[in-house]
């Protein structure tokens, strides 16, 4: 019934049955639904609404910037798909090797800045922000050497795990051409100015597609051309971002030039960087290993796992965006000494919305993926609790996060998943059951952790890291509450 008809029936007067009919129609009307939504919004405290708004302002650009970075490698893979199956396999494997041995390590080390820069910015010590960035750049550049050592040996490593010799050769070729871009890629990861990164990412992706087209179709350079295009695109991202920073003067408040002081206090940075790296890599490598195990079963299982993994990467960008936003808000609040604001930022993450998407092609793979989708829905719902990982980083408790991922994935999730994959012959469904069990237990653990966290002590530790006050007592490793106060601008890392 339309709203006008409902009004007319009420004005003319009708029997109780008619009134019931009117009431039922009213319940189903859009007006009633809007009213329900307004009442639900009314139940949320005003300060919660304000905090949700602040987090959403940070989340959107973070998600877009993550997507822009993801598209660089994705576009290269798409272009190489037209060269042949062997070339596509070689490029896809090379990008996986680069991600596992380079990007994951660099992103993990760089995420120490999620804690240090956000807390220092919140304290108002702006000069120290630039100093932390300098330390981060030097440490990441040094981290390139062990990464290069692994990348140089890509072909022997792939042959050792029974990959095709031709695929291994093409992967080695791609990696060797891309290697000079690794330092600039890791330094780009370290930058935390979000909207400029989004704009630069858009320009970089357009340039990447153009270079790939010229190198692959005009010059006919094959896999080598794709690697060169990817490498040039990484450098273009850094150059465009540098030009934008200088043009807008974004560096003036925090950058006073290179200083010998950046060679000091590396212990504090590394103390956070190593657990941050483990926290990220232990989770990331789990899915890469899962793909390898799926390939031991059949090509269909491998294809389905690849599709679901790509889905996981894309959909995780949304909780990752909220995670980074929560890390920034909590870090800024603790750095300013505002423990109540930090608690609030840690509480509103469950109210953040999510969306998912999927695109597949092969009929057998589509059928197998469809078998996993119901389970994956529950997995993704539990995985959104990974937003709490951002709160853990913002509070400087990366050691707990790394330990949680180690125990959860390698002592709970993997043993369950592998036992269901092979002895019980459930394939990748068994793997995802194991991963779902792991993520669910992790979520419960992190909820308890944040409820027991001593926010006042975390704030004191943040002020010490920010250089605002000297340490008066030995820091406790976990800083849990014994039962006995922090404003914000973003800094983020890429996945």
132 and 215 share one domain:
yes
Could you list the residue range(s) of the whole structural domain that residue 404 is in? Answer: 47-465
Confidence check: pLDDT of 434 > 50? yes
Name the pLDDT band for 4 (thresholds 50, 70, 90). very low
150 and 204 share one domain:
yes
Count of domains in the chain? 2
Confidence check: pLDDT of 465 > 50? yes
More confident residue, 332 or 452: 452
Question: What is the end-to-end Cα distance of the chain in Å, rounded?
Answer: 50
Most confident range (mean pLDDT) of 199-208, 345-354, 364-373 is 199-208
Q: Does some domain include residue 485?
A: no
254 and 382 share one domain:
yes
68 and 17 share one domain:
no
Q: Percentage of residues in the chain with pLDDT exceeding 70?
A: 62
Distance CA 227, CA 221 (A): 10
Q: Does some domain include residue 404?
A: yes
CA 223 to chain centre: 28
State the pTM of this model: 0.68
Confidence check: pLDDT of 8 > 70? no
More confident residue, 261 or 4: 261
Most confident range (mean pLDDT) of 12-21, 177-186, 305-314, 317-326 is 177-186
111 and 14 share one domain:
no
Q: Does some domain include residue 481?
A: no
Q: What is the mean pLDDT of the chain?
A: 72
Q: What is the pLDDT of residue 491?
A: 40
- Give the position of tokens 């041995």: 101
Q: What stretches of 288-374 adopt beta strand conformation (E)?
A: none
Name the pLDDT band for 173 (thresholds 50, 70, 90). very high
244 and 134 share one domain:
yes
Q: Does some domain include residue 483?
A: no
37 and 53 share one domain:
no
Q: pLDDT by residue (tens digit) across 384-402?
A: 666 677 677 767 777 888 8
Listed residue (214, 91, 111) closest to 495, CA to CA:
111
79 and 216 share one domain:
yes
Distance CA 61, CA 331 (A): 19
36 and 61 share one domain:
no
Name the pLDDT band for 236 (thresholds 50, 70, 90). confident
Q: What is the pLDDT of residue 36?
A: 54
Q: Does some domain include residue 441?
A: yes
350 and 428 share one domain:
yes
Listed residue (123, 116, 26, 141) closest to 398, CA to CA:
116
Q: What is the pLDDT of residue 125?
A: 64
Q: Does some domain include residue 312?
A: yes
More confident residue, 409 or 451: 409
Q: Tokens representing 371?
A: 């078998």
Q: What is the pLDDT of residue 489?
A: 38
413 and 447 share one domain:
yes
Confidence check: pLDDT of 44 > 70? no
Confidence check: pLDDT of 103 > 80? yes
Name the pLDDT band for 487 (thresholds 50, 70, 90). very low
394 and 254 share one domain:
yes
């Amino acid at each position: 019934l339309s709203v006008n008809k409902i009004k007319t029936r009420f004005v003319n007067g009708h029997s109780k049955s008619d009134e019931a009919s009117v009431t039922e129609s009213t319940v189903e009307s859009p007006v009633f639904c809007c009213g329900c939504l307004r009442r639900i919004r009314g139940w949320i405290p005003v300060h919660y609404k304000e905090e949700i708004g602040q987090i959403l302002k940070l989340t959107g650009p973070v998600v877009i910037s993550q997507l822009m970075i993801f598209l660089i490698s994705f576009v290269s893979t798409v272009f190489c798909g037209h060269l042949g199956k062997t070339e596509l396999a070689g490029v896809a494997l090379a990008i996986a090797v680069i991600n596992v041995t380079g990007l994951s390590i660099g992103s993990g080390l760089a995420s120490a800045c999620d804690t240090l820069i956000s807390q220092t910015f919140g304290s108002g010590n702006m000069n120290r922000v630039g100093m932390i960035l300098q330390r981060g750049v030097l440490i990441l550049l040094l981290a390139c050497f062990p990464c290069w050592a692994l990348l140089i040996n890509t072909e022997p490593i792939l042959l050792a795990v029974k990959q095709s010799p031709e695929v291994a050769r093409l992967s080695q070729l791609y990696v060797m051409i891309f290697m000079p871009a690794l330092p600039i890629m890791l330094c780009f990861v370290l930058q935390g100015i979000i909207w400029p990164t989004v704009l630069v990412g858009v320009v970089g992706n357009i340039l990447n597609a153009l270079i790939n087209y010229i190198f692959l179709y005009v010059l006919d350079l094959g896999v080598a051309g794709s690697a060169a295009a990817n490498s040039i695109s990484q450098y273009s991202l850094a150059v465009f971002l540098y030009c934008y920073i200088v043009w807008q003067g974004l560096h003036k408040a925090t950058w006073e030039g290179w200083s010998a002081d950046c060679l000091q206090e590396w212990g504090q940075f590394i103390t956070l960087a190593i657990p941050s790296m483990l926290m990220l890599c232990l989770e990331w490598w789990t899915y890469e290993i899962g793909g390898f195990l799926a390939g031991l079963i059949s090509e269909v299982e491998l294809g389905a796992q690849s599709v679901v993994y790509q889905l996981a990467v894309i959909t995780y960008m949304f909780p990752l965006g909220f995670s980074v936003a929560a890390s920034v808000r909590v870090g800024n609040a603790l750095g300013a000494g505002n423990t109540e604001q930090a608690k609030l930022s840690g509480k509103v993450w469950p109210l953040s919305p999510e969306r998912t998407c999927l695109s597949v092609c092969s009929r057998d793979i589509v059928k197998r993926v469809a078998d996993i989708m119901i389970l994956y829905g529950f997995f993704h719902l539990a995985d959104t609790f990974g937003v709490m990982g951002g709160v853990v980083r913002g509070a400087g408790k990366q050691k707990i996060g790394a330990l949680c991922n180690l125990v959860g994935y390698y002592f709970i999730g993997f043993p369950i998943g592998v036992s269901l994959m092979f002895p019980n012959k459930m394939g990748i469904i068994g793997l995802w059951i194991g991963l779902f069990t792991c993520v669910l237990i992790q979520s419960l653990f992190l909820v308890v952790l944040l409820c027991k966290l001593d926010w006042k002590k975390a704030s004191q530790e943040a002020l010490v890291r920010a250089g605002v006050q000297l340490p008066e007592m030995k820091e406790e490793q976990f800083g849990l509450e014994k039962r006995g106060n922090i404003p914000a601008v973003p800094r983020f890392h890429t996945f």
